[in-house]
């Protein structure tokens, strides 16, 4: 089975491909470049849900009929909600949630679904989530997709109040989910925690450690992803 992995930036893409060894082949697709390592095509699609959705959609549409993708993975580093997701830990999404897609009201935030249209989450195949969590030691729980990264304690508290049990936030998962859903392909999200969600403190960020954890995660989960079948999707 071929697996499409979508990251935001090249440094995350390269962290993923390092897990597979050797030098990946570079393949051009509309608007981007895929790095192919065996069954894995890894794409740096850009930051934010819109860029991620467009990049993933182009890649999915460019796949040959003889070698379609069987799975799409949104991957990279992200913020973790303390204490559940400490720095350097891994999170695999049980739910990929569009945390700020909706409307602010005097009574608080309303998700887009409460407005009577759209959707606000994708649910990855539960058995695959369990297998990846077991293989990597990742915690499984909701991962929030935001267009504006959280930088205050008040916003952190509001997100946790609206999404109890959330483990991490990032900027691309829901966009990748939109593209995967429209192509009829299951989606997964895997994040390595580089910083705590809350007041911005760049001196406390551990980007290098998170990228190393991301490489290790794909080294451990690669056989699971490549060998997975869609019996539970």
Average pLDDT over residues 91-112: 91
| CA–CA distance, 37 with 16 (Å, rounded to integer) | 10
Select from 217, 47, 211 the least CA-distant residue to 131: 217
pLDDT in tens, 149-206: 999 999 999 999 889 999 999 999 999 999 999 999 999 999 999 999 999 888 889 9
The number of residues making up the chain comes to 233
What's the Cα-to-Cα distance from 230 to each of 29, 69, 160, rounded to whole Å? 26, 12, 32
The structure's pTM equals: 0.93
pLDDT tens-digit map of 162-174: 899 999 999 999 9
Q: What are phi and psi of 229, to 5 degrees?
A: -120, 165
Out of 26-35, 108-117, 203-212, give the one with best mean pLDDT. 203-212
- Residue 231 has a pLDDT of 58
């Amino acid at each position: 089975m071929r697996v499409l992995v979508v990251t935001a930036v090249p440094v995350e893409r390269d962290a993923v491909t390092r897990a597979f060894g050797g030098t990946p082949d570079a393949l051009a697709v509309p608007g981007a470049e895929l790095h192919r390592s065996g069954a894995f095509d890894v794409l740096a699609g850009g930051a934010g849900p819109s860029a991620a959705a467009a990049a993933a959609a182009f890649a999915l549409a460019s796949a040959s009929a003889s070698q379609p993708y069987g799975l799409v993975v949104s991957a990279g580093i992200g913020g973790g909600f303390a204490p559940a997701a400490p720095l350097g830990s891994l999170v695999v999404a049980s739910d990929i949630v569009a945390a700020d897609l909706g409307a602010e009201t005097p009574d608080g935030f309303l998700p887009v679904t409460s407005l009577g249209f759209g959707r606000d989450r994708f649910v990855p195949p539960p058995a695959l989530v369990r297998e990846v969590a077991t293989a990597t030691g990742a915690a499984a729980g909701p991962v929030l997709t935001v267009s504006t990264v959280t930088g205050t304690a008040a916003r952190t508290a509001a997100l946790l109040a609206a999404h109890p049990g959330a483990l991490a936030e990032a900027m691309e998962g829901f966009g990748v989910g939109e593209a995967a859903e429209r192509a009829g392909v299951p989606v997964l999200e895997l994040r390595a925690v580089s910083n705590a969600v809350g007041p911005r403190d760049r001196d406390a960020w551990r980007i290098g450690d998170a990228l190393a954890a991301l490489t290790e995660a794909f080294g451990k989960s690669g056989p699971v992803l490549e060998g997975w079948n869609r019996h539970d999707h």
